[in-house]
């Protein structure tokens, strides 16, 4: 047991099912697999203690395997209590990788688990929302560096940087091209719809889906839902994004107007109070509410509870029905991030590139950490290009290279 860190999981007997799930995911993660093979040969992470506060899924287990193959001691806790795959946690523990996470753990247990990883004294942190690295900063514990998976986490860490309090380099994995383009558009785009359908078995064709937020993730959800026959209404506060939505062929309108139109509402803004009393009061009977943003603050749950004078009923495992005195509103997965809480998160084929970014970010921090500025930093361009190259290779796709003449021509314009 590395550094004496104990595991706290639901049940070790779930390991065989978890292992099968991890093997299935690994089969769809060729980029991470090739990094793992190189790590196993060269051990570039020898001796590093890497603490990961990520969603405990089969894809994350593949990342943990790559880190361990590279010579790191690695430990895992969950970035979200509702997304833990208990079998996967058991499989990792069985393989000697400490995990502190159980599905559905309460806030106190969640904090205890993140705290245990912080106490463990990592050199490098991996976060999905920045909870672990923020805690280490509050405790004034130094780490060599961190890598962050989400926009929300980066917002928190950039605030620390602006206040002059960021005490290590942080690699903004979320902003690499191989992460952002594919995660948001293809990963969340598909998996948010998947989560909603698993929870409800709704027929999307012919329904009006109101999408609140038209960032990269919103665009992905809209594209997929349109493909399934839904009519899309977009609500946006950013005029450029709103214009883009309109030119992409969607209806665009304020949320108050959309509230009366929608059959299904999906929030994906990164902000809070996006659907609040005034919207909830106008909605039709039987609508479905889902959140695809990182935190469960986009739908105002306090106001929803206050409005539910007729009570709240659990009608399906992931559907709570709020009775507003004659009208019911159906909330999915308690307003938590629906692609992970009701589905399995991004498909492994997408996480392949995200976690390749994280694995290579860890290597970058181990090798260069001491020389990097204590700022939120981009993933080096070479890492991004290497990942895209490996992914293309795995898909059997070849591409052209610039001729020397083209290189001269283009560099002569570069100034
Ligand atoms: N974030 C989104 N999808 C994920 C997945 N499948 N595993 C880990 N983190 C994720």
Q: What pLDDT is attached to residue 215?
A: 92
Query: Could you tell me if residue 415 is inside a domain?
Result: no
Question: Of the residues 22, 129, 345, 359, which should be mutated to test ligand 1's pocket, given the most ligand atoms within 8 Å of the CB?
Answer: 345
Cβ–ligand 1 distance for 337 under 6 Å, the answer no
Average pLDDT over residues 74-80: 96
Place of tokens 């990788």: 97
Tell me how far the alpha carbon of residue 173 lies from the centroid of ligand 1, in angstroms: 14
Q: Which atom of ligand 1 is nearest to the CA of 79?
A: 9
Chain centre distance of CA 79 = 9
**What CATH number is given to the structural domain containing 323?**
3.40.50.720
- Are residues 308 and 379 both part of a single domain? no
Whether 118 and 243 map to the same domain: the answer is no
CA distance 338 to 199: 9
- Residue 54 inside a domain? The answer is yes
User: What tokens were used for 57?
Assistant: 């899924």
pLDDT bracket for residue 306 (50, 70, 90): very high
Q: Is residue 410 part of a domain?
A: no
Q: How far away, in angstroms, is 56 Cα from ligand 1 center? A: 8
188 Cα–ligand 1 center, Å: 9
The string of pLDDT tens digits covering residues 4-60 is: 799 999 999 999 999 999 999 999 999 999 999 999 999 999 999 999 999 999 999
The CATH number assigned to the domain holding 130 equals 3.40.50.1480
80 lines ligand 1 (CB under 6 A): no
Give me ligand 1 centre to Cα 201, in Å: 22
Please identify which residue in the block is written with the tokens 């803004």.
269
Residues 92-120 pLDDT 10s: 999 999 999 999 999 999 999 999 999 99
Q: What spacing in Å lies between the alpha carbon of 351 and ligand 1's midpoint?
A: 6
pLDDT score recorded for residue 4: 77
Average the pLDDT over 135-145 and give the result: 96
Longest dimension (CA), the chain: 73
- Number of domains the chain is built from: 2
Quick one: what percent of the chain has pLDDT higher than 70? 99
In this structure, are 35 and 156 located in the same domain? yes
Do both 15 and 146 map to the same domain? yes
Looking at the domain assignment, is residue 403 inside a domain? no
How far is C-alpha 318 from the geometric centre of its chain's CA atoms?
19
370 CB-contact burial (10 Å; exposed 0-12 / middle 13-18 / buried 19+): exposed
408 near 414, Cβ under 8 Å?
A: no
Q: How confident is the model at residue 414 (pLDDT cuts 50, 70, 90)?
A: low
Q: Give the structural domain span for 326.
A: 188-341
- DSSP character at residue 104: T
Question: Whose C-alpha lies nearest to ligand 1, atom 8?
Answer: 55
- Annotate 132-162 with DSSP letters as a single string: HHHHHHHTT---SEEEE--HHHHHHHHHHHH
How far apart are the CA of 128 and the centre of ligand 1, in A?
9
Are 272 and 372 in the same domain?
no
d(CA 232, CA 266): 11
User: How many angstroms is it from 83 CA to the middle of ligand 1?
Assistant: 9
Of all protein residues, the one whose alpha carbon is nearest to atom 9 of ligand 1 is 55
Q: In angstroms, rounded to a whole number, what is the distance separating the alpha carbons of residues 348 and 10?
A: 24
| Nearest atom of ligand 1 to the alpha carbon of 344 | 6
Domain shared by 199 and 154, yes or no: no
Residues 220, 260: one domain? yes
pLDDT-derived band at 1 (thresholds 50, 70, 90) equals: very low
pLDDT of residue 3: 52
My answer on whether 192 and 312 are in the same domain is: yes
- Return the closest-CA partner of residue 89 out of 186, 15, 175: 15
The pLDDT of residue 43: 98
Q: Any alpha helices (H) in 201-335, and if so which ranges?
A: 216-227, 239-247, 255-261, 277-280, 301-307
Closest by CA to 230, choosing from 222, 238, 239, is: 222
Which residue would you say has higher pLDDT here, 3 or 80? 80
pLDDT at residue 81, as a whole number: 87
Q: Give the residue from 308, 341, 374 where a domain finishes.
A: 341
Q: How deeply is 79 buried, as exposed, middle or buried, from its count of CB atoms within 10 A (0-12, 13-18, 19+)?
A: buried
Mean pLDDT of 299-324: 98
Q: Is residue 406 part of a domain?
A: no
Our mutation pick for probing the ligand 1 site, out of 59, 99, 183, counting the most ligand atoms within 8 A of Cβ, is 59
Check whether residue 296 and residue 333 sit in a common domain: yes
In this structure, the answer to whether residues 175 and 219 fall within a common structural domain is no
Write out pLDDT tens, residues 329-377. 999 999 999 999 999 889 999 999 999 999 999 999 999 989 999 999 9
Residue 408 domain flag: no
Question: Which residue(s) pair with 127 in the sheet?
Answer: 53, 148
Task: Give the C-alpha distances (Å, rounded to integers) separating 279 from 192, 273, 275.
Answer: 22, 10, 6
Q: What is the pLDDT of residue 314?
A: 98
- β-strands 251-252, 231-235: how paired? parallel
Q: Are residues 358 and 291 in the same domain?
A: no
Q: Is position 55 within any domain?
A: yes
pLDDT value at position 2? 46
Is any ligand 1 atom within 6 A of the Cβ of residue 57? yes
pTM: 0.85
Cα of 182 from ligand 1 centre, angstroms? 13
Please indicate, yes or no, whether residues 156 and 22 belong to a single structural domain of this protein.
yes
């Amino acid at each position: 047991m590395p550094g004496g860190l104990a595991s706290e999981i639901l049940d070790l007997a779930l390991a065989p099912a978890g292992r099968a799930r991890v093997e299935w995911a690994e089969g769809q993660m060729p980029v991470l697999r090739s990094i793992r093979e190189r790590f196993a040969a060269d051990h570039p992470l020898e001796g590093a203690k890497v603490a990961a506060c990520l969603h405990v899924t089969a894809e994350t287990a593949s990342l943990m395997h790559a880190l361990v193959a590279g010579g790191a001691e690695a430990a895992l806790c969950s970035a979200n209590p509702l997304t833990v795959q208990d079998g996967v946690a058991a499989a990792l523990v069985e393989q000697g990788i400490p995990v502190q996470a159980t599905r559905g753990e309460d806030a106190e247990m969640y904090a205890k688990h993140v705290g245990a990883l912080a106490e463990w004294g990592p050199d490098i942190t991996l976060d999905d929302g920045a909870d672990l690295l923020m805690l280490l900063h509050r405790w004034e514990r130094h780490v060599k560096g961190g890598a962050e998976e989400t926009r929300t986490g980066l917002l928190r860490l950039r605030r620390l940087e602006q206040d002059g309090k960021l005490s290590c380099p942080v690699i903004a994995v979320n902003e690499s091209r191989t992460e952002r383009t594919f995660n948001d558009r293809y990963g969340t785009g598909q998996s948010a719809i998947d989560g909603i359908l698993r929870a409800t078995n709704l027929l999307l064709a012919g329904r009006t889906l109101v999408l609140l937020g038209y960032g990269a993730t919103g665009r992905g959800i809209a594209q997929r839902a349109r493909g399934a026959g839904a009519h899309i209404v977009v609500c946006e506060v950013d005029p450029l994004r709103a214009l883009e939505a309109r030119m992409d062929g969607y209806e665009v309108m304020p949320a108050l107007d959309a509230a009366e139109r929608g059959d299904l509402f999906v929030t994906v803004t990164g902000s809070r109070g996006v659907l609040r009393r005034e919207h909830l009061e106008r909605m039709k009977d039987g609508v479905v509410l889902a959140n695809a943003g990182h935190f469960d603050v986009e739908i105002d749950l306090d106001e929803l509870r206050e409005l539910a004078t007729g009570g709240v009923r659990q009608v399906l495992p992931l559907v709570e029905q709020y009775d507003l005195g004659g009208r019911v509103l159906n909330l999915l997965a308690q307003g938590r991030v629906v692609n992970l809480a009701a589905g399995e998160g991004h498909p492994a084929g997408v996480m392949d590139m995200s976690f390749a970014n994280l694995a290579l970010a860890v290597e970058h921090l181990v090798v260069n950490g001491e020389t990097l500025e204590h700022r939120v930093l981009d993933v080096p361009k070479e890492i991004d290009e290497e990942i895209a190259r490996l992914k293309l290779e795995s898909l059997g796709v070849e591409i052209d290279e610039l001729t020397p003449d083209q290189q001269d021509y283009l560099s002569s314009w570069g100034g």
